[in-house]
Amino acid sequence: MTDEKQRMKDVDHTHPYDDRSAGALFARGPVVAADGGRDPNREPNESMKDVDHTPPHDEEGATRVFERGEEYDGDVVEE
């Protein structure tokens, strides 16, 4: 062992089994630079509760949504 410190940029970040770099694990698609502005095509009073949460084609594959706060007015069904 030496006293010479190795810098992170000099460390090999390639996966030992599939030759992908570690950065490929965290790829999430295109980068968005959000400026905090509003979408001009969005209706001014639109919120998540206004969005249709029904699965397409009336499928039953949707998972239940965790409800928070006092705004939930449906009955909770215990399974």
12-49: b (≥16 Cβ within 10 Å) or e: eeeeeeeeeeeeeeeeeeeeeeeeeeeeeeeeeeeeee
For 45-72, the pLDDT digits (tens) are 767 777 777 766 766 655 555 555 555 5
pTM over 0.75: no
